[in-house]
Each structure stands twice: as structure tokens, then as C-alpha cells.
Amino acid sequence: MSSENGKLLPETDAGGLNFEATELTLGLPGESRVTSDGVAKLGSKRGFSETVDLSLGDNKNTNKFGQSQIDVPEAAKSPVSKAQVVGWPPVRGYAKRRTKSCKYVKVAVDGAPYLRKVDLEMYNTYQQLLTSLEDMFSCFTIRNYLSDKKLDQVNGIEYVPTYEDKDGDWMLVGDVPWQMFVESCKRLRLMKSSEAVGLAPRTPPKCSSAS
């Protein structure tokens, strides 16, 4: 799959679960095995608990590839949210099997008289989405923060792609791994650059792999 590495998909659990009961530990209850590093763990030193940010109180929220991280505050917002390890479970094409098999979201452009709809499942990467939006609203320029490349200017007005996520917040497109974005995006808005003061970064955010 051509999606980025290190993608982590926060999952909001059904809720109402006793978190302690679902917390993963490496090791049978009551047992402790100590590796040569003196760390009490069963299994790999870089074991499951290191690669997954589980506990709400735990501040280990790095992932292997330095990409978007699950903030502890973010996790605290949705109680009992689980982070995932890269490549687990080992199922290919899971995205295609999800219940929501097509994801149409509205696209609004500041200044345009009507909205459009796009199916996010049609794309694999941010680049593809932005290119498609550019085709759709061909008289506007969309500022592409991922590659810091100005798409061809026609009338000199730049737009910043933003989206509304599941929590109702307006986010800048491009921060999180693609699949996570598809999951959480409710609708898109191409905001005028001039209005995005304070929201749009002056320098593009670092992404360790091109989308």
C-alpha cells in the first residue's frame, strides 16, 4: 500500500470498558521477567508496550518513524482510545473492508457559490486529493503545505486546505497520516490564505515521508 509508514490510527473504543482490564501488559499477571537491561518485561525489549501508547497516564508517545504522535491530551479526550502498532493486525487492505466503504465529504471554498463533494476513499495520498481539488476548483490556487510547492497561480489568491474532524475542530490538512485523516474528516474547507493568519505555518511541517 502506498500509504505512509508509521501510521497510527487512534481508535475510540465503544466506551464503558474498564480500562485496566483492557490494558495490555507484557507478562502474565504476577510474573516478572527481567531482561539483561534490568527492565521488567516479557518479550522484546522494544515490546508491545513501548511501541504502543496505551496508558492514559503514560507519556511515551513516540512512534518509530517520528511521525504524527498521539498526544496524551488527545487520548484523554476520548476515553479508552487505543493506539496501534505499525502493521498490526497483519491484514492487508483493511481500509477497503471497513463498513463505511465510501466516504463522501463536502468541500467548501471561500468565495465559491456552491459546494462540491469528494469521495475520500478514491485517493491514497494527500497529493492526489489536492490535485483533484485543484481540478475541481480550477480557478483557485491551493497552497500545498506538504511539498511547499505553489501550484500554478491563476488569479493570485491562495487557499489553505482545512478540514473539520470528528471532534468538530478545524484542522490543517496534512498533519496526520492519510488513513487517519480519511477516518476523521467530516468535511473540507478551502480557506483563503489571508484568513488563515495564525493557523497556517510559515514553514511547512516536516513529514518524513512524502504522502
In DSSP terms, which residues pair with 191 in a beta bridge?
Answer: 160
CA distances to 26, 39, 41, 59 from 128, rounded to whole Å, are 40, 45, 43, 35
Q: What residues have CB less than 8 Å from 91, skipping those under 6 apart? A: none
> In the block, which residue shows the cell 482545512?
162
What CA–CA distance (Å, rounded) separates 184 from 1? Answer: 20
Residues in 123-182 at the binding interface with other proteins, rule: CB under 8 A? 124, 128
User: Which residue type, as a one-letter code, is found at position 139?
Assistant: C
Q: Is 51 in the site for other proteins (CB under 8 A)?
A: yes
Q: Based on the number of CB atoms within 10 Å of its own CB, is 110 exposed (0-12), middle (13-18) or buried (19 or more)?
A: middle
For other proteins, the closer of residues 65 and 172 by Cβ is 65
Measured CA to CA, the distance from residue 136 to residue 114 in angstroms comes to: 12
Is 14 a binder of other proteins (CB under 8 A)? yes
Binding to other proteins by residue 84, rule CB under 8 A?
A: yes
Taking the complex as a whole, how short is the minimal distance between the CB of residue 171 and other proteins, in angstroms? 21
Cα of 54 vs its chain's centroid, Å? 17
The distance of closest approach from Cβ of residue 118 to other proteins in the complex, given in angstroms and rounded to an integer, is: 12
Interface residues for other proteins in 95-124 (CB under 8 A)?
96-99, 101-102, 121-122, 124
Binding other proteins (rule: CB under 8 A), the pick from 46, 149, 166, 186 is 46
- The interface region with other proteins, picked from 39-47, 68-76, 142-150, 188-196 by CB under 8 A, is 39-47
Out of 47, 105, 108, 165, name the contact with other proteins by CB under 8 A: 47
According to DSSP, the residues that pair with 206 across neighbouring strands are none
Comparison of 160 and 180: residue with beta carbon closer to other proteins = 180
Which of 39, 43, 117, 154 is in the footprint of other proteins by CB under 8 A?
Answer: 43
Give the whole-angstrom CA distance, residue 114 versus residue 108: 7
DSSP letter for 34, please. B
Q: Is 5 in the site for other proteins (CB under 8 A)?
A: yes
Binding site for other proteins (CB under 8 A): 1-3, 5, 7, 9, 11, 13-14, 17, 22, 24, 26, 28-29, 33, 35, 42-48, 51, 64-66, 82, 84-94, 96-99, 101-102, 121-122, 124, 128, 208-209
